[in-house]
Every structure is written in C-alpha cells, then in structure tokens.
Copies of this chain bind each other. A is one copy, B any other.
Amino acid sequence: MSATVNNGEENGMETLRERKKARTRDALLHAALELFTTKGYEQTTVDEITEAVDVSQRTFFRYFASKEEAAFFVPRLTETHFVEAVRARPPHEAPLEALRRAVLESWDTINEAIQQVVPLDLHMRTYRVIESTPALLAAHLRRSQELEEELARIVAEREGLDVDTDPRPRLVVAVFGGVMRVVERMWIAGDDLSIEAMRELTADYLDGVGPALAGNWRTSHTK
C-alpha cells in the first residue's frame, strides 16, 4: 500500500539491488561489444569479458544466455520499435507501403533508443562485426526470418486473411525483407553511415524492385 512498493520498472532509480544489476549488465555489455569490435567476436572469450568487468564467468551467463546474445542485445531493441511502427500504420495503406513507411519513420525513434544503452558509434561497429562474422551473420538472418513471420501475420490480419491459406502476406514480407537485407549490406559497405543515407538507399531500392523484376533492363537505366 505504501509508496515503497515499486517493484516494477517505471521509476528511473528503483532499488539499490536493481541499480547494481543494471550496472553489471551494462558493464558486461559494454566490455563485450568493445572487445568484439576491437579483437573480433571469435577471438574474444567470455573469460576475457568477465575479467574486464571483474565478475565470474558464471555471472555472464546469468545475464546473457550466450555470447551471441550479448552481440544482439541492441539489435533486439530495434526490432521491437520497427514492429510497433508497422502495427501503428493506418489500415488503409497497402501492405508494402505500410512496411515502407514504417521503416523510414522508425529509424529516428530507434537511434534514440539505442543511444540510451550504448554509444551509437559502438553500435555501428558492432553491426559491422555481425555482418562480417559468419556465426553472427547466420544468427542475424535467422532472426530476420522470425521477424518476417511476425510481419506476415500482422499484414495478414490487416487485410483479414489467413497466413496459411493465402501466400501473399508472406510473399510481400519476403520481398520486403530481401530488399532490406540488400540495403543493410550496401549501407554497411559504403562510407556514409548516416540515417539519411540509409533512408535514401531504402527508398531507392524499394522503388527499384518493380523495374528490376520487369526485366527490360537494357531500355531503362536507373541511375
């Protein structure tokens, strides 16, 4: 009844225990990402991470189910934002358009959320590690597929369809996902890592799908 309950997650300070917990988790996360980005993911042992934070190895695995999970901690945050953005789209928009607007608009919110956990710069470098480390890339792609399944269901519901009867929801989402992966790849490979660059690439490529599928490439040149 009194105001001392507070076992939720709203207040910024909470109890000492929870603050401590958050601090070790942050320390572990930072140490992990820093090591991943400097000496490489595979080359970094969990022991090294825990030594840097001065906790036991066992503690690491109580905060992160695996070494992998540490690498994907931030990306996990962004997913939620994107999915929410899709859900928030007005129902009258066509599926592909809803997806398109959702990505384009959600990035600002996402970056904001990221910075509250990890310096943006560190996150970018981590992303590069993910794309260049086979094991992490694989995990990333699998997660993408899970996300696509979720999106397909959302789209199906928007249109009042059954995902398992009508293939169209899964198809749009698959195409969308495919394009976004190309965007990611090119964006990471390029040198302009700004949001604007990303946004431009996204718009360009999504617009480019139609023409690219048409096949009369010899007659129309995109750029």
Is there an interface contact between B138 and A217, defined as CB atoms closer than 8 Å?
no
Which residue from B94, B141, B166, B171 sits with its C-beta under 8 Å from A179?
B171
Query: Number of copies of this chain in the oligomer?
Result: 2
Cβ of A205 under 8 Å from chain B? yes
Cβ of A186 under 8 Å from chain B? yes
Which residue from B94, B177, B211, B223 sits with its C-beta under 8 Å from A178?
B177
Instruction: Known A-B contacts: A94-B214, A167-B208. Give 11 more (CB < 8 A).
Output: A94-B215, A97-B215, A137-B145, A138-B139, A165-B223, A167-B186, A168-B212, A170-B186, A171-B182, A177-B178, A209-B213
Q: Which residues of B contact A210 (CB under 8 A)?
A: 213
A158: nearest residue on chain B (CB-CB)? B217
Contacts of A172-212 to chain B: CB distance below 8 A: 172, 174-175, 177-179, 181-182, 185-186, 204-205, 208-212
Which residue from B94, B171, B181, B222 sits with its C-beta under 8 Å from A174?
B181
Is there an interface contact between A171 and B97, defined as CB atoms closer than 8 Å?
no
Given A178-B177, A222-B166; A209-B171 close (CB under 8 Å): yes
Is there an interface contact between B186 and A182, defined as CB atoms closer than 8 Å?
no
Contacts of A87-141 to chain B: CB distance below 8 A: 94-97, 134, 137-139, 141
CB distance from A100 to the nearest CB of B (A): 11
Contact bitstring A139-177, B, C-beta under 8 A = 1, else 0: 101101100000000000001010001111011101101
Cβ of A6 under 8 Å from chain B? no
Interface of chain A: mostly helix, strand, loop or mixed: helix
Cβ of A2 under 8 Å from chain B? no
Cβ of A216 under 8 Å from chain B? yes
Q: Which residues of B contact A174 (CB under 8 A)?
A: 178-179, 181-182
Q: Which residues of B contact A205 (CB under 8 A)?
A: 167, 171
Q: Which residues of B contact A211 (CB under 8 A)?
A: 168
